[in-house]
Structure formats: structure tokens, C-alpha cells
Structure 1
Amino acid sequence: MTEAEALALATHRHYKGGLYRVIGVARHSETEESMIVYEHLWPHDHGLWVRPAELFNGALADGSPRFKALDIPL
């Protein structure tokens, strides 16, 4: 997948530049912690990942977001 193709599907960009698409929010079966289910689109192989919502939506030490939401045209 090219960067342009991935950008058409992506909802977020990681601070290191990768493009991702959020699939949804899941709940951990033991702790009930909210988890973000997301797909890595570019630049590496596709794959589904899960990360605690607090970390996914969190900021780096400098205050910038770990995953920045992309503007999605309606």
C-alpha cells in the first residue's frame, strides 16, 4: 500500500509518521479498561494492534499527541 492509499483510509498519524485506522474501542475482559483497536496501514506490514485508550490518546513528554487525529472530510 502506498502512503497516498493509506492516507485515504487513515484516521490517525503516529508521532513517528506511520498511518493508522482506528477500528473501535474494546474493553479488557479482566480489568474492563478501555482499549483502542487499530490497524497499522503504512509504512510497514498491515496488522491489528490494541493499546490502552489512556496511552493511545495520551501525550508525549513535550505535550504533542502520540497519535494525532487526521481531518476526515465528510
Structure 2
Amino acid sequence: MSKLEYEFDEKSNQIISPLNNKRLTYTPEEEIRQKFICVLVNEYGYSLNQMAQELSLTNSSRGTGRARADIV
């Protein structure tokens, strides 16, 4: 199994998200999120198929009822 690498494109200021299979605008929060995904895959043995990113919690009563989870 190959190692998942954190990818950042300085020219476009974008981070590659392996879970969403798309480019996202760089933010410090997004950098931490993507590096954590790499840790889950590389150090704990999870596969990308076992994870989801920015999942909506449909039955949430928290706040406005539009809660979401960053990584599940």
C-alpha cells in the first residue's frame, strides 16, 4: 500500500483533498484536516473508502440544525 501524501499547490493556493478528489482553497483549518486524513491512512491503516469529509448530520438539533462533521 502506498503512502498518502499531503499535497499543497503554492501557485494556485490550493490543497488536494483525497477524500473529495478535488482541489480546495488553502486555509489553516483545511491544512490540518488534510494532514489528519494522511495520519489516519498512513499510521492507523484506514482506507479512504472508510472515511467521509464534511458529512451533514441530518437529524441534528444543535444550533440551526445544520451541523456537519469534518471527518468521519
TM-score by length of 2: 0.28
Higher relative contact order (CA 8 A, sep 6+): 1
Q: Which structure shows the higher strand fraction?
A: 1
TM-score by length of 1: 0.28
